[in-house]
């Protein structure tokens, strides 16, 4: 995992990223390092930067390599809008077939298939012992029903998942033609002891391949943040997306989300990946604590009507059942109204005491202070994980900070050393 921040006003945009990155792959495990580069100049000489969060690789290829190869191919290139830089970079990934080959794409398919099929495997294993008799003989009819039940559950779960924006470009028939045999090999390895029949195998292959069409980014997904200025832009902009991989030349990515500085909104900041501590500082309350408070009062209000009805019946037995129902209903409405007032007041306090003043401050910060704020937002999470005995250190290492302005372009404010002085 990681923590990153973007802070921008009418003068410039600051980008900050820690150095901890997760290398994740469904079947090959997860590993975290804290010396990785995640913040880069996108095009040499252009006022545009790019950050990567979560997985440091795309289809097994390091993002650093992809970004630097793109930079080499676009040297001196300018675009009118920031979104044009981002879209051109995504097109570069889609069209390249030398760094990201069909073999790389096959790894994406296998990882997605494995993540899906493991859930089916676990479901079967929970009921597997019940498929044996007392003298430990397997009852094949029971096993068949169990496997069919697991497949039905997987299909039901998949029906509830939203399809990704790329799903039209990856119909199931196309995926079957290209990858059925590949997934079938994985299927035979994983379900070897369950003696699946041909129909069950075919249905499981479809379940695995269909997961590629769903808008569910897993551990292997990466986030991209592009910020800076287009050639015809005088206030900074930022856009970001999440990418789950590339399959058959199709990028499994969300649509670009864009934010911009305007005269009406002269300041903006955004944090990415692990940002709970940063938003606790910005909003005045930790997100988990806020959720716990709201959850407690929601349950209290929900239970109040039945509790009031029972208490009234015991305290005032002379009241009719209809009278008790009317009084308890009125009581419920009253406390529910007070609960809504509490939520509005909490939101109002957050906005007026914390969020709005911070936005106003960001709008007027000098360029150098933008970098200080961006770095501090990242450091909050890093520090908390460093001293906490309950958190893994998934955010850490040195924090890289860059400042991008229309006049000065991409400038490093802080950058970790790549080599020692002795090595040159």
Contacts of residue 9, Cβ cutoff 8 Å, sequence gap at least 6: 236, 261, 266, 267, 268, 362, 363, 364, 365, 370
Which pair of tokens denotes residue 392? 């893994």
Q: What is the pLDDT of residue 385?
A: 79
Dmax over CA atoms of the chain, in Å, equals 93
Residues 6+ apart with CB under 8 A from 422: none
| Res 219: pLDDT | 58
CA 347/CA 298 separation, integer angstroms: 16
Both structure tokens of 324: 């008790």
| pLDDT value, residue 378 | 94
Q: Are 21 and 38 in contact (CB under 8 A)?
A: yes
Q: Name every residue whose Cβ is closer than 8 Å to that of residue 38 and which is 6 or more positions away in sequence.
A: 2, 4, 17, 18, 19, 21, 51, 52, 53, 56, 63, 400
- Token pair of 267, please? 């300041």
What's residue 379's pLDDT? 92
Residue with tokens 């924090």: 399
Calculate the alpha carbon distances from 83 to 86, 339, 346 in Å: 5, 43, 36
Give residues with Cβ within 8 angstroms of 362, minimum separation 6: 7, 8, 9, 267, 268, 269, 370, 373
Give Cβ neighbours of residue 371 (< 8 Å, ≥ 6 apart).
7, 14, 16, 401, 402, 403, 413, 414
Q: Which two tokens stand for residue 246?
A: 């590339």
pLDDT one digit per residue (tens) for the chain, 424 residues = 688 999 999 999 999 999 886 555 555 556 677 788 999 999 999 999 999 998 889 998 999 999 999 999 998 899 999 999 999 999 999 999 999 999 999 999 999 999 999 999 999 999 998 989 888 888 889 989 999 999 999 988 888 788 999 999 999 999 999 999 999 999 999 998 888 899 999 999 999 999 999 987 665 789 999 999 999 999 999 999 999 999 999 999 999 999 999 999 999 999 998 888 888 888 888 888 989 999 998 888 888 777 777 777 777 777 777 887 788 778 888 888 888 999 999 999 999 999 899 999 999 999 989 999 999 999 998 888 778 877 777 787 899 999 999 999 999 999 987 655 554 3
CA atoms of 249 and 231, how far apart (whole Å): 30
């Amino acid at each position: 995992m990681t923590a990153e921040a973007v802070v921008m006003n009418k003068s410039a945009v600051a980008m900050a990223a820690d150095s901890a990155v997760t290398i994740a792959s469904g079947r090959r495990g997860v590993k975290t390092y804290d010396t990785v580069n995640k913040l880069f100049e996108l095009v040499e000489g252009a006022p545009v930067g790019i950050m990567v969060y979560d997985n440091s690789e795309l289809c097994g290829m390091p993002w650093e390599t992809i970004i630097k190869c793109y930079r080499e191919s676009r040297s001196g290139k300018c675009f009118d809008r920031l979104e044009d830089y981002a879209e051109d970079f995504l097109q570069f990934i889609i069209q390249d077939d030398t760094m990201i080959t069909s073999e790389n794409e096959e790894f994406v398919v296998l990882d997605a298939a494995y993540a899906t099929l493991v859930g089916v495997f676990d479901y079967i294993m929970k009921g597997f012992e019940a498929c044996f008799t007392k003298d430990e003989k397997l009852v094949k009819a029971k096993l068949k029903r169990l496997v069919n039940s697991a497949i039905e559950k997987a299909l039901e779960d998949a029906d509830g998942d939203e399809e990704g924006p790329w799903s039209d470009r990856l119909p199931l028939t196309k995926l079957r033609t290209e990858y059925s045999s590949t997934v079938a090999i994985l299927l035979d390895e994983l379900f070897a002891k369950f003696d699946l029949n041909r129909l069950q195998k075919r249905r499981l292959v479809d379940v695995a391949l269909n997961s590629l069409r769903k808008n569910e980014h897993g551990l292997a997904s990466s986030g991209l943040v592009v910020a800076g200025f287009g050639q015809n832009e005088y206030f900074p902009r930022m856009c970001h997306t999440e990418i789950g991989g590339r399959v058959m030349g199709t990028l499994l990515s969300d649509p670009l989300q864009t934010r911009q500085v305007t005269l009406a909104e002269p300041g903006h900041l955004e944090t990415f990946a692990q940002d709970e501590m940063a938003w606790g500082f910005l909003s005045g309350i930790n997100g988990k604590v806020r959720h716990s408070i709201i959850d407690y009062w929601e349950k209290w209000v929900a239970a109040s009507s039945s509790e009031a009805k029972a208490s009234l019946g015991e305290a005032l037995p002379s009241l009719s059942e209809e009278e008790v129902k009317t009084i308890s209903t009125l009581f419920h409405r009253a406390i529910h109204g007070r609960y809504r007032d509490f939520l509005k007041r909490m939101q109002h306090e957050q906005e007026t005491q914390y969020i709005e003043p911070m936005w106003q401050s960001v709008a007027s910060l000098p360029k150098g202070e933008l970098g200080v704020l961006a770095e501090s937002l990242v450091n909050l999470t890093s520090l908390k994980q460093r001293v906490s005995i309950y958190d893994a250190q998934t955010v850490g290492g040195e924090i890289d900070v860059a400042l991008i302005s229309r006049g000065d372009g991409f400038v490093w404010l802080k950058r970790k050393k790549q080599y020692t002085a002795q090595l040159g």
